[in-house]
Amino acid sequence: MGRIKKPTQAERIYKYMQAHKNGITSLQALDYCSCIDLAGRIRDLRERGIEINSEYVMVRNRNGEKCRVKRYWLAS
């Protein structure tokens, strides 16, 4: 019997963005996809021809402090 291939981080990020139209930030990528290098996985997806938009947004970190992060979402 063959092994079941587990999804790559890039595949998990892509599926997350499909399900969440507001996109994904690095903290969400870490929490939901166990991905530390979101920018690298976004680059991988773009190299596969997937159109992804991005912008900087202000969010609150785990300590309640405001910080600027990049948010990525699938282009329509």
Residue-by-residue pLDDT tens, the chain, 76 positions: 568 888 899 999 999 999 999 999 998 999 999 999 999 999 999 999 999 999 999 999 889 999 999 999 999 7
Residue 54's nearest CA partner among 36, 29, 34 is: 29
Tokens found for residue 8: 């790559």
User: Tokens 């499909």 identify what position?
Assistant: 18
pLDDT at site 3: 81
pLDDT at site 1: 58
From residue 58, alpha-carbon distances to 3, 19, 29, 35, 43 in Å are: 42, 22, 16, 20, 22
